[in-house]
């Protein structure tokens, strides 16, 4: 079947869905192409923080970009709720980073100070807090907690409901979403792209690669260098509890439904997304040190997801110079950056050029590294 | 609702079901003990508070969640009774 | 961002402790006919064997409580000869050299074939060269209006209470559904002193079954048993309503009545207890968590692990036998358990393939009549479509997360959804404590019927450990030094 569209977005996770939804907001009728039910889909396995307090020491552009998205999440959530009736579960009560040793505390203090120094005055609002202040926020902290950081701008969403809402709103605005549509090849010319799947051939003047780990091979077909690799992260979720943790912490939080999410590890394991039991043990042990009441609480599920990681952990935003009209949008914090992607990145795609503030995230930075 | 119709041999134990002392055969599970002494719901769901009772009695459905000896959300159909065991209904989500 | 977790030193620590664990040549999960027979056979072949089961005593579902029951004079009359036959198998098992771990849940088998167990002494782990999954079957979920009310349980649940605790329901009981077990359990309840007020049988599918009839009647014992039960129930005055449809259970806080349509008219029965049943399906969560490949069995409307002739799964060193590999009944489970044990012995080069083939030939011959009867039963008792996938929108499909049929259907029709895992993400089906056991097949059927494709094309949930609930403190436990 042959189809034409205003734009093709490849991917079906949070990054693709946010950009694709953003394109429909600007009046485009894009096609979004996703793989099947079982795929490397980090959007289904993440920890769902909308987080700023630790983002981008040494890279102020990243700090500002994360903060912008965090600021715009309430707007995105409200808009999606009114368009689809789905509550994305966005909460912005502030978030805590927990330190379990003096060493962790010293390291975190350094990060917080550097970020404050690199932010415009008054923009960075996280601060280190004492154990006593931590206990005032969450009395459930255990004796091993020595202190931490608190940032009023941090929050969480329900990533699964957000994904569902973005995709619904996208379809409702005239976008077409095709699952089970793995892209096998791309024929590229400037502002003219034809993408092949097993059952369809789709042409459009704009192409956005937002396929997570799939961006690397797809990028090669349109002259984009996207050196992403998988980094495995495991998460544990417990049975539902009555509300106990009012604030999220970097590695432990209570969901709106009541379950406690415990994450998240980092492991180089290639494309292997099976669970490493030793990692589960370590996560569980650390969670119990942080909140001793968790020891008795029942585990319902554990899973491993593959993060989409660039060599320097920052996003890759680029337009192909060989084939203008082809963009790549990839990052490892697709939840936090969801609003920025929906509102700002989509606009850049429509405008036909990326704004200067995203210049820091060009994939040309990796060429430079390679030449050294 | 459930009555003992075959008396398999074996000891009898004292347990406390929803605050009431009962004696039950040692071959009972906590869920069986509950069904033998109570009618109707043995738990309320954590989401809507709907009444539920054991459904499969073989460990797959998790409708038999009970508070046993103070520990909430135990799978009652897989826990054999023990002397002095306190078995209570599970009311909604676990509290900590 | 640097990791705060010392994952790599943790990995080293884990390895060291694992090496000191007790290791067996064969580890069997499940003490039903398949697991017991495999254990007895493996031990006779000299394999160091362990058998792990979550129940307090051997027997599995069919022979539940058989040791205690066989000592009671009423058991044979109430439960019948098929049940009593289990006593002998359990005796052989007790006399064998198999190490038996009762009251022990296997909540994870890791990539190195270590079994992680939660038992009376907390969490332990054991290693195994070969693993046999004999986790049996569970009753197919029967998602009809009102099925979540107290006062509704499965027929198997009532049977389990009777076998293991001698407990029978009092008051007015109605059984509803289909499948060969429905009548057996009705008869057992009747013999135990409380005959059901009625048995509501859904339509049987003789048209689909007729082709298999000749093979079925060539397995005379199945025919004799089935007809015998009907006659026994009729003699005792139990009403059997056939061709019943649109069954619904009414009540506010407990079941009070059951309604159904028969011969075009709606009828109603007052009830104290409704017992539902529509056949059994493989209990595959452990196999799924090991990522064994599964296939759709269209005749049985269920997924089962893909096995080859030696009963091996797609995962090296993991075998599957009994009803968890496809429903065949207790006798077939026992025979396949024995075959699996010979294959496990061959896989670790304890016996030659020739010896295995010689030993297995007579077992295969004995197996044949049992397999012959199955296609007829599967077709004749095929679950009606509206029972596989509820038509009414407000029927609860996922009991744990209280997700209704309409919500699932709406996702399929109003926005694309590639399969049950994305569905899980969108509406939380299968995210509760039962981990999809009670909603998985219904979600798949709903998606398949709405899209007009086979459930096999839809696929199934990905299942990950722990497959049984454990406390976080138990998850944190390292393997114990032995
Ligand atoms: C409720 C019910 C009632 C039935 N009643 C009858 C009947 O009256 N007559 C009849 O002919 N057939 C009956 N059947 C069918 C019959 O049970 C099967 O044909 C037969 O038991 C299959 O044997 P098996 O060894 O494969 O499995 P099972 O007998 O089911 O044995 C499996 C065993 O594995 C254990 N197990 C499962 N997972 C784990 C784990 N993770 N860790 C530890 N242990 C585990 C279970 O506790 C169980 O003991 C019934 C089925 C069910 C579900
Ligand atoms: S009654 Fe189903 S798990 Fe206990």
C384: helix, coil or strand? coil
Give the residue from A309, A325, A350 where a domain finishes.
A309
Q: How confident is the prediction for chain C on average, in pLDDT?
A: 92
- Among B29, B62, B65, B79, the mutation site with the greatest number of ligand 2 atoms within 8 A of its Cβ is B62
Q: What is the dihedral of CA A135, A140, A144, A147, to 10 degrees?
A: -30
- In this structure, of A88-97, B5-14, B47-56, C471-480, the range with the lowest mean pLDDT score is C471-480
Tell whether B2 is covered by a domain: no
Q: Cα C199 to chain center, whole Å?
A: 23
* pLDDT at C4 (0 to 100): 35
Q: How far is A184 from A182, CA to CA, in rounded Å?
A: 6
Q: How distant is the alpha carbon of residue C179 from its chain centre?
A: 15
- Quick one: average pLDDT of C30-58? 97
Render pLDDT for A183-223 as a digit per residue (tens, 0 to 9).
999 999 999 999 999 999 999 999 999 999 999 999 999 99
Residues of A within an 8 Å Cβ radius of B:
140, 239-242, 244, 258, 293, 296-298
Dihedral angle computed from the Cα positions of residues C343, C349, C350 and C351, in that order, rounded to the nearest 10 degrees: 60
Structure tokens at C435: 């981990």
Separation in Å, CA B45 to CA A76, B53, B90, C432: 32, 10, 8, 11
Q: Which CATH number does the domain housing residue A44 bear?
A: 3.50.50.60
Q: Cα dihedral sign for A339, A340, A342, A347?
A: positive
Does C2 score more than 80 pLDDT? no
In C51-85, alpha helices (H): 66-69, 75-79, 81-84
Determine the Cα–Cα distance for residues A105 and A147; give it in Å rounded to an integer. Answer: 7
Pick from A280, A309, A338: which residue ends a domain?
A309
* B95 touching chain A per CB within 8 A: yes
Number of domains chain B contains: 1
Name the burial class of residue C385, with classes exposed (0-12), middle (13-18) and buried (19+) by CB atoms within 10 angstroms of its CB: exposed
CA-to-CA distance for C312 and C406, rounded, in angstroms?
39
Query: A36-75: b or e for each residue (b if 16 or more CB lie within 10 Å)?
Result: bbebbbbbbbbbbbbbbbbbbbebbbbbbbbbbbbebbbe
Residue A367: pLDDT band with limits 50, 70, 90 = confident
In the prediction, which pLDDT does C479 show?
52
Residues A288 and A246 in one domain: yes
State chain B's mean pLDDT as an integer. 95
> Exposed e or buried b for every residue in A272-305, given b needs 16+ CB within 10 A?
ebbbbbbbbbbbbbbbbbbbeebbbbbbbbbbbb
| Rounded Cα–Cα distance for residues A233 and A48 (Å) | 13
- From first to last of its 96 residues, chain B has per-residue pLDDT tens of 899 999 999 999 999 999 999 999 999 999 999 999 989 999 999 999 999 999 999 999 999 999 999 999 999 999 999 999 999 999 999 988
Q: What percent of chain C has pLDDT over 70?
A: 95
Residue with tokens 């004995």: C366
Are A240 and A297 part of one and the same domain? yes
Residue C12 has pLDDT above 80, yes or no: no
Read off the pLDDT of each residue in C430-438 and give the average, rounded to a whole number. Answer: 94
* A183 and A39 co-located in one domain: yes
Residues A281 and A234 in one domain: yes
- C328 CA from centroid of ligand 1 (Å): 12
The answer on A242 and A211 residing in a single domain is: no
pLDDT at residue C1 greater than cutoff 70: no
What's the whole-number mean pLDDT along residues A128-138? 97
Task: Say how far apart CA A232 and CA A274 lie, in whole Å.
Answer: 9
- Computed from CA positions of residues C107, C108, C113, C115, in that sequence, does the dihedral angle turn out positive or negative? negative
Cis peptide leading into A205, omega within 30 of 0?
no
User: Residue C331 has what DSSP assignment?
Assistant: H
Integer-rounded Cα Rg, in Å, for chain C is 23
Instruction: Collect all residues of chain B within an 8 Å Cβ-Cβ radius of residue A298.
Output: 73, 94
C169-206: per-residue pLDDT in tens?
999 999 999 999 999 999 999 999 999 999 999 998 88
- Report if residue A88 sits inside a domain: no
Instruction: Tell how far the Cα of C430 is from the centroid of ligand 2, in angstroms.
Output: 16
Lowest mean pLDDT among A351-355, C71-75, C128-132: C71-75
Domain-embedded: residue B61: yes
Nearest to C460 by CA among C415, C432, C429, C427: C429
By percentage, how much of chain C surpasses pLDDT 90?
83
User: Would you place residue C3 in the very low, low, confident or very high pLDDT band (cuts 50, 70, 90)?
Assistant: very low
Query: What is the domain extent for residue A335?
Result: 2-49+160-228+312-371
B73 touches chain C (CB under 8 A): yes
Which residue's structure tokens are 């049940």?
C83
B7, part of any domain: no
| pLDDT 10s digits, A1-54 | 899 999 999 999 999 999 999 999 999 999 999 998 887 777 777 889 999 999
Judge whether residue C10 has pLDDT over 70: no
User: Are the beta carbons of A50 and A73 closer than 8 angstroms?
Assistant: yes
Contact B54, B41 (CB under 8 A): no
pLDDT digits (tens, 9 = 90+) for A286-296: 999 999 999 99
Give the mean pLDDT of chain A. 94
If asked whether residues A218 and A337 sit together in one domain, one would say: yes
**Does A18 share its domain with A133?**
no
Residue B6 lies in a domain: no
Taking an 8 Å cut-off on Cβ atoms, the answer to whether C192 and B5 are in contact is yes
**pLDDT tens sequence across A109-123:** 999 999 999 999 999
Please tell me the least confidently modeled range out of A41-45, C233-237, C332-336, C465-469: A41-45
Evaluate if residue C17 carries a pLDDT over 50. no
SS3 sequence of chain A: CEEECCCEEECCCHHHHHHHHHHHHCCCCCEEECCCCCCCCHHHCCCCEECCCCCCCCCHHHHHHHHHHHHHHHHHHHHHHHHHCCCCCCECCCEEEEECCHHHHHHHHHHHHHHHHHCCCCCCCCEEEEHHHHHHHCCCCCCCCCEEEEECCCEECCHHHHHHHHHHHHHHCCCEEECCCCCCEEEEECCEEEEECCCCEEEECCEEECCHHHHHHHHHCCCCCCCCEEEEEEEEEEEEECCCCCCCECCEEECCCCEEEECCCCECCCCCCCCCHHHHHHHHHHHHHHCHHHHHCEEEEEEEEEEEECCCCCCEEEECCCCCCEEEEECCCCCCCHHHHHHHHHHHHHHCCCCHHHHHHCCHHHHHHHHC
Nearest-Cα distance to chain C for A99, in Å, is: 10
**Is A71 contained in some domain?**
no
Cβ distance C400 to B62 under 8 Å?
Answer: yes
Q: CB of B2 within 8 Å of any CB in chain C?
A: yes
pTM assigned to the model: 0.91
| pLDDT of the residue at A6 | 96
Query: Residue B38's domain spans which residues?
Result: 13-89
Amino acid C416: pLDDT: 79
Element containing residue B2 per DSSP (H, E): strand B2-4
Question: Which sign, positive or negative, has the C-alpha torsion A22, A24, A28, A34?
Answer: positive
**B57 in any annotated domain:** yes
Write down the pLDDT at residue C219: 77
Q: Is the pLDDT of residue C18 over 80?
A: no
Position C15 scores a pLDDT of 39
Q: Tokens for A141, please give them.
A: 């902290």
For ligand 1, mutation pick of C82, C136, C138 (most atoms within 8 Å of CB): C136
- Residue range C4-23: average pLDDT? 45
Task: Identify whether residues A273 and A124 lie together within a single domain.
Answer: no
A63 within domain boundaries: no
pLDDT of amino acid A42: 73
Token pair recorded at residue C175: 């059984």
> Contact B46/A293, CB-based, under 8 Å?
no
Compare all CA atoms of chain C with the CA of B55 and give the residue at the minimum distance.
C153
pLDDT attached to residue C480: 45
A125 & A143 share domain: yes
Q: How confident is the model at residue A315 (pLDDT cuts 50, 70, 90)?
A: very high
With 60 as the cut, is the pLDDT of residue C465 above it? Answer: yes
Residues A186 and A321 in one domain: yes
- Computed from CA positions of residues A80, A85, A86, A90, in that sequence, does the dihedral angle turn out positive or negative? positive
Domain assignment present for A118: yes
- For residue A164, give both structure tokens: 């569902």
In angstroms, the Cα distances linking A332 to A35, A89, A126, A320, C247 are 19, 20, 22, 21, 50
Domain boundary among A309, A334, A355: A309
Does residue A282 sit in the same domain as residue A323?
no
**Contact, A35 vs A180, CB < 8 A?**
yes
Fill in the DSSP letter of residue C351.
Answer: S
- Per residue in C352-402, pLDDT (tens digit) is 999 999 999 999 999 998 998 899 999 999 999 999 999 999 999 999 999
Residues whose beta carbon lies within 6 Å of some atom of ligand 2? B 31, 54-57, 59-64, 75, 77
CB of A279 within 8 A of CB of A302?
A: no
Nearest CB neighbour to A298, from listed B73, B92, B95? B73
- What tokens appear for C52 in the block? 């792990």
The tally of domains found in chain A comes to 3
Let me know if residue A57 belongs to a domain: no
Same structural domain for residues A221 and A235? no
Q: What is the mean pLDDT of residues C432-446?
A: 96
Residue A59 located in a structural domain? no
Report the CATH number that the domain containing residue B74 is assigned in CATH.
3.10.20.740
């Amino acid at each position: 079947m042959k189809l034409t569209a205003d734009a093709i977005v490849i991917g079906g996770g949070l990054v693709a869905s946010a950009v694709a939804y953003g394109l429909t907001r600007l009046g485009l009728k894009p096609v979004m192409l996703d793989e099947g039910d079982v795929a490397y889909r980090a959007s289904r396995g993440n920890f769902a923080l909308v987080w700023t307090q630790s983002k981008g020491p040494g890279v102020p552009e990243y700090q500002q970009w994360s903060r912008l998205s965090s600021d715009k999440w309430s707007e995105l959530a409200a808009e999606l709720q009114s368009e689809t009736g789905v509550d994305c579960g966005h909460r912005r009560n502030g978030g805590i980073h927990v330190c379990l040793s003096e060493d962790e505390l010293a390291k975190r203090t350094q990060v917080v100070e550097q970020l404050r120094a690199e932010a415009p005055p008054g923009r960075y609002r996280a601060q280190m807090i004492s154990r006593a202040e931590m206990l005032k926020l969450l009395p459930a902290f255990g004796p091993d907690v020595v202190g931490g950081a608190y940032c009023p701008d941090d929050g969480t969403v329900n990533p699964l409901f957000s994904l569902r809402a973005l995709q619904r709103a996208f379809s409702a605005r005239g976008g077409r979403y095709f699952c089970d549509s793995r892209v096998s090849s791309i024929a590229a010319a400037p502002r003219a792209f034809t993408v092949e799947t097993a059952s369809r051939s789709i042409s459009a003047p704009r192409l956005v690669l937002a396929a997570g780990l799939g961006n690397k091979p797809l990028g090669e077909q349109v002259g984009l260098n996207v050196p992403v690799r998988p980094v495995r992260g495991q998460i544990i979720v417990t049975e539902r509890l009555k509300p106990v943790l009012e604030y999220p912490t970097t590695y432990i939080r209570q969901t709106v439904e009541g379950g406690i999410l415990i994450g998240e590890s980092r492991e180089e394991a290639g494309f292997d997304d099976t669970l490493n039991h030793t990692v589960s043990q370590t996560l569980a042990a650390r969670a119990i040190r942080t909140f001793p009441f968790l020891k008795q609480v029942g585990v319902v599920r554990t899973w491993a997801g593959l993060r989409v990681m660039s060599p320097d952990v920052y996003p890759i935003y680029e337009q192909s110079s060989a084939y203008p009209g082809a963009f790549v949008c990839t990052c490892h914090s697709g939840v936090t950056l969801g609003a920025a992607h929906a509102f700002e990145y989509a606009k850049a795609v429509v405008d036909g050029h990326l704004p200067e503030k995203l210049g820091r995230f060009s994939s040309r930075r990796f060429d430079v590294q390679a030449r050294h | 609702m459930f009555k003992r119709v075959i008396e398999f041999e074996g000891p009898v134990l004292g347990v406390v079901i929803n605050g009431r002392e009962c004696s039950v055969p040692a071959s009972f599970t906590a869920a069986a003990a509950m069904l033998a002494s109570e009618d109707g719901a043995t738990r309320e769901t954590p989401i809507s508070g709907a009444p539920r009772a054991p459904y499969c009695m073989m460990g797959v459905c998790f409708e038999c969640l009970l508070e046993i000896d103070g520990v909430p959300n135990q799978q009652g159909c897989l826990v054999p009774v023990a002397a002095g065991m306190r078995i209570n209904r599970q009311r909604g989500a676990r509290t900590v | 961002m640097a990791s705060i977790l010392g994952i790599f030193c943790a990995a080293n620590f884990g390895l060291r402790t694992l090496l000191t664990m007790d290791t067996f040549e064969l580890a069997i999960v499940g003490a039903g006919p398949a697991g017991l027979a495999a254990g007895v056979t493996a031990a006779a072949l000299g394999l160091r064997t362990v058998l792990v089961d979550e129940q307090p005593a051997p027997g599995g579902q069919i022979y539940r409580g058989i040791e205690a029951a066989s000592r009671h004079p009423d058991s044979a009359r109430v439960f019948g000869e098929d049940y009593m036959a289990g006593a002998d198998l359990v005796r052989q098992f007790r006399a064998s050299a198999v190490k038996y771990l009762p009251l022990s849940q296997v909540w994870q088998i890791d990539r190195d074939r270590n079994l992680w167990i939660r038992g009376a002494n907390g969490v332990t782990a054991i290693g195994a060269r070969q693993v046999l999954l004999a986790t049996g079957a569970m009753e197919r979920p029967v998602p009809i209006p009102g099925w979540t009310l107290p006062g509704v349980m499965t027929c198997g649940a009532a049977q389990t209470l009777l076998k293991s605790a001698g407990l029978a329901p009092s008051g007015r009981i109605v059984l509803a559904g289909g499948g060969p077990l429905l009548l057996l359990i009705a008869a057992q309840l009747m013999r135990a002193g409380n005959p059901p007020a009625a048995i509501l049988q859904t339509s049987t599918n003789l048209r689909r079954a007729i082709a298999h009839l000749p093979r079925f009647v060539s397995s005379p014992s199945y025919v004799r048993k089935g007809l015998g039960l009907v006659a026994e129930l009729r003699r005792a005055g139990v009403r059997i309503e056939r061709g019943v449809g649109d069954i619904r259970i009414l009540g506010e806080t407990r079941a009070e009545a059951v309604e159904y349509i028969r011969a075009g008219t709606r009828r109603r029965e007052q009830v104290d207890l409704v017992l539902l049943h529509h056949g059994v399906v493989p209990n595959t969560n452990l196999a799924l968590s090991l990522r064994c490949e599964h296939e759709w069995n269209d005749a049985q409307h269920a997924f089962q692990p893909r096995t080859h002739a030696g009963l091996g799964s797609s995962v090296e060193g993991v075998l599957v036998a009994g009803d968890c590999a496809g429903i065949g009944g207790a006798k077939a489970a026992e025979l396949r358990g024995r075959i699996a044990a010979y294959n496990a012995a061959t896989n670790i080069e304890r016996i030659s393939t020739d010896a295995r083939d010689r030993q297995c030939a007579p077992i295969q011959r004995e197996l044949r009549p049992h397999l012959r009867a199955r296609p007829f039963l599967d077709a004749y008792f095929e679950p009606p479509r509206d029972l596989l996938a509820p038509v009414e929108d407000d029927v609860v499909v996922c009991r744990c997360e209280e997700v209704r049929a309409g919500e699932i259907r709406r996702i399929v029709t109003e926005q694309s959804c590639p399969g049950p895992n994305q569905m899980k993400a969108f509406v939380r089906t299968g995210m509760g404590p039962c981990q999809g056991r009670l909603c998985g097949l219904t979600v798949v059927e709903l998606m398949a019927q709405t899209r007009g494709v086979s459930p096999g094309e839809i696929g199934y949930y990905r299942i990950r450990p722990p497959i049984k609930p454990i406390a976080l403190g138990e998850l944190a436990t390292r393997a114990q030094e032995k």
